[in-house]
Amino acid sequence: MNERARAFIGRLRGQRFGSTLLVLLTLAVGILIGTVISNSVKGASNLGRFSDATALQAPNPKQLGNAFTVIAKQMEPAVVTIYTESVPKQVQAPQGRRRRNQNPDDEQQNPFDDFFNHFFGGPQGPGDQGGTPERALGSGVIVDNKGYIVTNAHVVDDADRIRVKFKDDQERYTATLVGKDSETDLAVLKIEPKGKTLSSARLGNSDGMQVGDWVLAIGSPFGQEETVTAGIVSAKGRNIVPRKQFQSFIQTDAAINPGNSGGPLVNMDGDVIGINTAIFTEGFSQGYMGVGFAMPSNTVRDVYNQLISSEHRVVRGSIGVTYNAEENPAVARVYGIKSGVTISSVQKGGPSEAAGLRPGDTITSVNGQPVKNGDELVSDITKVRPGTKVTLGYLDQNGAQKQASIVVADRAKLYGENANDNEQAQEQGQPEESKLGVTARTLTPEMADRMDLQGTKGVIVSDVKPGTFADDIGLERGMVILQVNKQPVNSEDDFRRLTGKFKSGDDIVFLVHTGRGPTAGNIFLGGRLP
């Protein structure tokens, strides 16, 4: 075969291969198109099989029978947000250690001071650095449609201008401070309605509340007006600030946050049974942790009625004694007390001192009516008008039943501002540590003078070993031990002799002077020795 023939055959084979490849490609495309068409037909067939589906429709709106909703709507017009403006009086400390409503003489700050400052009205934000002073400080509730509002005293402390805002009303109404009471942290404001019809809330009877009852907290947390949270009454009669005899709170787990202070705590009848005041919190969040406190409405009513009177202040009777806010079983056992209030200190120049009462005596009745605890004693005495005589029944330290006629004094005049700044005595040397874990030395006249305890005898605590009995019961450096189990302590020798005889299982009670700040006073510390 010549070259021309071979070339012809090669071209023919190439054409056949190309034709075959073209046919195969055409067949593949056809199969693919057929598959798509087939699937589309099947899909269309499936849609047709569900043609009976009905389109969803929105129902007509309706109100559910919810008691929370009813109460929230009822209270809404009576709850307000309170704003204040203040002109800086002085340059703040570099680290902001002391805030505006703290006593600069009191170096022993209570943990709840942070709550009153940071959460419910303390200076914070730009105002402390010389910026815009206006900021939302808290809430309030109208209790009289003439414009009278109840809130917390710390919300309006040091305010140069107070303004009140209603929900859905952009106007801010100027408020006048009618009066405030630091003992209960309550204040009354007054606004002029200016033709606006005001709604008022109704104060209920807080004594009727039981642990477990549902309550609502209403206010402006973080500036969110008319926020409503629900919870229950967790406890009653909570004393969260040491030696504050008139701050006995309702505890609730209804969410309370910054801005809620001064707002109402409401029961399921729509009655205000408390004014939200403080929360317990820990850590960096400084927010709600399920523990809030409200001043009971019965206390609010008593304070309000006095603040709107001509004197615009609360007048309380006093017999010039103090006692432990929390009952201590060891104190009751050592002093043989089944019921009553054991006196921890007697005010110098006060009516009880004049009548012969002493620390360690136990008041059991007022005008013939039994007194079970400190709250009852305070309630009975503070209601008595100053200048009135009352008859106290009491047991002395030896258990003898006695009576005393006492003229009730004006508490404010008796105690004044109590603004002395007691200094902690500075000890030298290394006294021997007792087996209880406390080191103490004789209180010298010079030390007593510095602590405003002229003529007082005792021993001053110079050290407390961590984890010991003394540490567990609350003894601290700077406290002055006056008695051990009713026996006076005049020196280190007395202290060693009295404490050296105790053994495991014995009850030990110290009468001590706290030795610091304007709240300094006598308290009992004690327990059972392990």
Active site residues: 154, 185, 261
Tokens 């540590």, residue? 433
Beta bridge partner(s), residue 266: 216, 272
Quote the CA–CA distance of 325 and 330 in Å, as a whole number.
Answer: 14
Task: Count CA within 13 A, CB hemisphere, residue 489.
Answer: 28
Q: Closest by alpha carbon to 515, among 467, 428, 456, 434?
A: 456
Give the span between the Cα atoms of 322 and 343, in whole angstroms: 6
- How far apart (Å, rounded) are the C-alpha atoms in residues 485 and 399? 14
CA dihedral 443, 449, 454, 455 (to 10 degrees): 40
For 414, phi then psi, to 5°, come to -70, -45
Q: How far is CA 188 from CA 175, 304, 307, in A?
A: 10, 7, 7
β-bridge mates for residue 389, sequence order = 407
Using alpha carbons, select from 203, 211, 266 the residue that is nearest to residue 238. 211
Give 258's contacts (C-beta < 8 A, 6+ positions apart). 118, 119, 120, 221, 222, 287
